[in-house]
Structure 1
Amino acid sequence: MDDTLKPLKVPPQMSYYADKHNLSYLMQSLVASLVTSQPDDPISHLIDLLKSSNMSIPRVVLLGPPAVGKHTLARHLSVQLEAVHVTTETLLPDQSELSTLSEQGFAELLVQLVQQRLKQPDCVHQGWILVGIPQTRLQALLLQQAGIIPEHVVLLVAPTNVLLTRNQRRSVDLQTDSNRTSIRSADDIIAGHQERGGLSEEQLLAKLQLFHCEVTGLRSAYRHILKVIDGNQLDTVIYLQALAFIQTHHHFRTPRILLMGPPGSGKSHQAKLLSEKYKMTDVCCSRLLRSVAANGSGLGAEIQQYLENEQSVPDSLVLQAVEQRLSQVDCSSRGWVLHGFPYNLHQARNLRGFQHQPNRVFFLEVTDDVCLERTTLRRTDRVSGERYHTVTRPPQTAVQNRLQAAPDDSAEVMRERLERYRAESAGLQSVFPDAFRIDAAQKSHNVFEALERRLNTN
């Protein structure tokens, strides 16, 4: 076999070092700068770049239909991030002759103007926020070809009736020539959706139709760095969601995530969401032990004895099973999210000695009362295997008689499990002092957003 065709195996220690020092992000940034800037002296360019403080400057694109609030959001983000606010109007103050240009001609002109603007010292050193640019997939592709690649793209969306209502509420102060709209937030961070005004209902509907024709292409062009935000929320909520997203960075290459928390904290559900979005391997310790027990190996036979007798599997066997699983190709190449392990101090210390250590550790924090409510009210359909909750996800009448509660979900068993976790939690936290703590009493999607924010930060 040709040696060049053999799969390359990188020692785990190298991967751990690279993750610890964000080398993947550093190399990506350096190469991207070389390709887009194409300096005559690449070495000097890289040295200057490493010496500069602008490697993590904001490079943001804000998109959305007219009247959705993107210009107001951009102004406030620009103040917070100290980034330059760039719009089509600032690039093209006189748009009287644009109607004579073809779509290709206008796109090329716009990209040329954007290139010139972003090369100015303020954009180079402070970063930039492009608002409403690009407007079409063609413009997006031309921007990419020109080396203008944002790190974050925010797409604001809102129902048509909401946009029409906002447009009707706008008024123009004849003395100051500034646009105003109603203020929906009690917070002073954002004083209303202030945007360009003056569109008739027919003009707005025409622009909305054009936007809807192009938005699918724009989503596709920026799908890996895109966040869609509901523009029909309080202004502060929109602002904080956008700011939290923009302040995240995709620093690590292969995620190795450890989720810990009491039973009922939502570890399995959040692991499922993370594995689905980031294509990482979901490693549940209890499922893993059952899988190993069924595979016919020597280790599996030992584990099977304990499972059959409903006894706890010894730490030594659990550690072997987990370490073998994390060493497999899918985990090393795609990353993993581990939950249900470790559940005592001995296991935690041994995990720290694994070659494949976690690079993100989270404690999902929630009270015992919430855990009991979540678990003791769970029910499973014996026929479909579908899980329900009598309060948060009640079943249909047709399946009521098929539901049953798992023995481990009884209040007595859950209280014992919670007591064991609380007794071990201080030791677990001492092994992972840099772990993130997440309020898991929130709604599931809020917990997931909190995990994502910390997943992509230093």
Structure 2
Amino acid sequence: MDATSRPLRVPPEMGIYAEKHELFQLMQNMLEGLLIHKPDEPIRYMISHLKQDNDHVPRVCILGPPAAGKTTIAMWLCKQFNTPRISQETLLEETLELTEEAKTFQEKGQKIPNALWASLIQERLSNMDCIKQGWILEGFPENQDQAWMLHSAGITPRHVVVLYAPDMVLIERNLGKRIDPSTKEVYHTTFDWPSDPLVQQRLVEAEGISEQETSKHLLEYHRNFPRVFQIYQQILKSFNADQPCADVLSQVLTYVQTRCRSAAPFTPRILFCGPPGSGKSLQAALIAQKYSIVNICCGQLLKEAVADKTKLGELIKPYFDSGWPVPDNIVLKLLADRLNRLDCMTDGWVLHGFPRDLDQAQQMERAGIIPNRVFFLNLPSESVMERLAQRMVDPVTGERYHSMYKPAPFPEVQAHLRQNPKDTQDNIRMCLENYYRHGGDLEEFYEDAFYINADQDPYIVFEHIESCIIKPLPYKS
């Protein structure tokens, strides 16, 4: 980087490296930790933070009324992430300093104070397994006081899952709840009865599941939850628990694997792939217009180089004249030169028309052209043929028409419409075969790509694409 010239030209490799290793997020996490814990030796704290390497471990609270399925979902998530589960039962079974004090309250039939629960949780989460593997906190916090105590102790979840269902459904569920004392698995006499006879024999009835006690707990939950919601509303998501457990788990798992919105600077580098006629040009234009990023069509870039009579354009012209494809090394050189200009580096870019096969994608990566969002626009062959074979061009105005979607407004315009030679059915079939021959390899290469159904209204497609751009990429399980 030349520090003597303005504006400063930051090499694109620097931004790609910082984004790949999430340097901005790393610095933000360390700063948050410093402000929360206020260590006497900040440098040593930051070194310890880096050694722990646990910024991506799950930290999840699962809340909800009695019988909403908190234990079931928590146990499934723990198996998925190999993460400790923290609940009232597990805390009272641990050999912690404050466990005996909490048991004393329980034996006397007294309610364990919020401050004691918060201290127990803080002590448990300071153990090495929770630091390295993360934690699933089940049923905490129950009220606003517990939430503030956890918050003041620096215990901040990344995701808060709230399960809900009608009260009558919850009461019915609770009445049939049974517990396996060996595994702590939860079963139900109607909805989830174990097939193993040995498990059936050792099941015991859960405590406090009568209709009267359940109604009392539900009333207390409904009284306390709105205040808890206010504290965690930015990271909280509710899920309907009145559906099969597998469906609830799938939805919760998807949410827990998503990243929270980062304050890191984000320069869009977007790539559209898909068969001809799938709408790559239109979607690129819409994205570029809304977010003021550079729209780059590889084919158009080649035509401009020839028209401007640049050095590369002189090399490209013979291939255009003969109808042969331009060699990859020339295309890549032209593309790299355009993407390394200041507007692309500062505003971002959206690219379509290249790469078309695995070799071109690998060459792009070696050249440092690495998109951070890749979209495959999927469209059935029948729809491709319908879109392309019936479109015509007015040679006078250059306006495009389509016999089905956008017919010519006047008979005299209709009379002199012409079809592009590339839009013949034979040529479309050949392009489709070429795309599908290499499409699978490209999909494997861009493993974090998004797949969009392009056979619908283009503005619905745009909204889906936009949502994938502005949201962080999910964590890989």
Structure 1 Cα separation of the partners of residues 426 and 276 of structure 2: 10
Per-residue Cα deviation, 1:40-99 (whole angstroms, up to 9, x for no partner): 444444444444465543221223343322221002222332322122454666465449
Which residue, out of 120, 123, 135, partners 2:127? 120
Which residue, out of 400, 412, 431, partners 1:420? 431
Q: Is the 8 A contact 1:362 1:437 kept in 2?
A: no
Which residue, out of 165, 169, 179, partners 1:165? 169
Q: Report the counterpart of residue 354 of structure 2 in structure 1.
A: 342
Q: Report the counterpart of residue 327 of structure 1 in structure 2.
A: 344
What amino acid is the match of 1:23?
L
How far residue 456 of structure 1 moved from its aligned partner, in angstroms, is: 4.1
| Length-normalised TM-score, structure 2 | 0.58
How far residue 237 of structure 1 moved from its aligned partner, in angstroms, is: 2.5
Per-residue Cα deviation, 1:251-280 (whole angstroms, up to 9, x for no partner): 9862534232225768799999999xxx97
CA RMSD between the two structures: 6.1
Structure 2 Cα separation of the partners of residues 236 and 256 of structure 1: 36
Change in CA separation of 1:319 and 1:76 when aligned onto 2, cut-off 3 Å: closer
Bigger radius of gyration among the two: 2
Structure 2 Cα separation of the partners of residues 281 and 455 of structure 1: 25
**Which 10-residue stretch deviates more, 34-43 or 108-117?**
34-43
Determine if the alignment matches structure 1 residue 220 to structure 2 residue 253.
no
Change in CA separation of 1:238 and 1:249 when aligned onto 2, cut-off 3 Å: same
Structure 2 Cα separation of the partners of residues 232 and 57 of structure 1: 29
Q: Report the counterpart of residue 250 of structure 2 in structure 1.
A: 240
Identity across matched positions, percent: 29
Structure 1 Cα separation of the partners of residues 132 and 355 of structure 2: 47
Change in CA separation of 1:155 and 1:265 when aligned onto 2, cut-off 3 Å: farther
Structure 2 Cα separation of the partners of residues 88 and 432 of structure 1: 46
Structure 1 Cα separation of the partners of residues 193 and 384 of structure 2: 36
Determine if the alignment matches structure 1 residue 183 to structure 2 residue 196.
no
Q: Report the counterpart of residue 303 of structure 1 in structure 2.
A: none
Change in CA separation of 1:173 and 1:208 when aligned onto 2, cut-off 3 Å: closer
What amino acid is the match of 2:354?
P
Q: Is the 8 A contact 2:143 2:225 kept in 1?
A: no
Which residue, out of 260, 263, 269, partners 1:256? 269
Which structure 2 residues correspond to residues 8-407 of structure 1 after superposition, within 5 A?
Answer: 10-52=10-52, 54-88=54-88, 90=91, 94=105, 96-98=109-111, 106=114, 108-136=115-143, 139-158=146-165, 160=166, 163-171=167-175, 180=188, 182-183=190-191, 197-198=209-210, 200=212, 202-203=215-216, 206-207=219-220, 209-210=222-223, 213-214=226-227, 216-222=229-235, 226-248=236-258, 254=266, 256-262=269-275, 327=344, 329-331=346-348, 338=350, 340-342=352-354, 344=356, 357-364=370-377, 366=378, 368-369=380-381, 371-372=383-384
Change in CA separation of 1:325 and 1:67 when aligned onto 2, cut-off 3 Å: farther
Q: Is the 8 A contact 1:370 1:441 kept in 2?
A: no
Q: Is the 8 A contact 2:187 2:194 kept in 1?
A: no
| Length-normalised TM-score, structure 1 | 0.59
Structure 2 Cα separation of the partners of residues 174 and 184 of structure 1: 10
Please state whether the residue corresponding to 1:170 is helix, strand or coil.
helix
Change in CA separation of 1:10 and 1:184 when aligned onto 2, cut-off 3 Å: farther
Q: Is the 8 A contact 2:295 2:351 kept in 1?
A: yes
Structure 2 Cα separation of the partners of residues 63 and 219 of structure 1: 11
Structure 1 Cα separation of the partners of residues 234 and 372 of structure 2: 30
Change in CA separation of 1:72 and 1:181 when aligned onto 2, cut-off 3 Å: farther
Gapped runs of 5+ residues in structure 2?
A: 1-5, 93-101, 201-205, 305-325, 389-403, 409-417, 455-460
Change in CA separation of 1:358 and 1:73 when aligned onto 2, cut-off 3 Å: same
How far residue 214 of structure 1 moved from its aligned partner, in angstroms, is: 3.4
Structure 2 Cα separation of the partners of residues 372 and 236 of structure 1: 37
Please state whether the residue corresponding to 1:436 is helix, strand or coil.
coil
Q: Report the counterpart of residue 394 of structure 1 in structure 2.
A: none
Q: Report the counterpart of residue 3 of structure 1 in structure 2.
A: none
Structure 1 Cα separation of the partners of residues 250 and 127 of structure 2: 29
What amino acid is the match of 1:155?
V
Structure 2 Cα separation of the partners of residues 272 and 153 of structure 1: 37
How far residue 164 of structure 1 moved from its aligned partner, in angstroms, is: 2.0
Change in CA separation of 1:415 and 1:127 when aligned onto 2, cut-off 3 Å: farther
Please state whether the residue corresponding to 1:66 is helix, strand or coil.
coil
How far residue 175 of structure 1 moved from its aligned partner, in angstroms, is: 9.6
Structure 2 Cα separation of the partners of residues 241 and 118 of structure 1: 26
How far residue 167 of structure 1 moved from its aligned partner, in angstroms, is: 2.3
Structure 2 Cα separation of the partners of residues 236 and 213 of structure 1: 27
How far residue 435 of structure 1 moved from its aligned partner, in angstroms, is: 0.6
Q: Report the counterpart of residue 435 of structure 1 in structure 2.
A: 446
Structure 1 Cα separation of the partners of residues 81 and 251 of structure 2: 14
Tell me the number of residue pairs that the alignment of Structure 1 and Structure 2 aligns.
393
Change in CA separation of 1:449 and 1:186 when aligned onto 2, cut-off 3 Å: farther
Gapped runs of 5+ residues in structure 1?
A: 1-5, 294-313, 377-401
Change in CA separation of 1:219 and 1:9 when aligned onto 2, cut-off 3 Å: farther
How far residue 418 of structure 1 moved from its aligned partner, in angstroms, is: 6.8
Q: Is the 8 A contact 2:272 2:351 kept in 1?
A: yes
Q: Is the 8 A contact 1:140 1:221 kept in 2?
A: no
Per-residue Cα deviation, 1:405-453 (whole angstroms, up to 9, x for no partner): 7999xxx779855753552566687789631276847798999999979
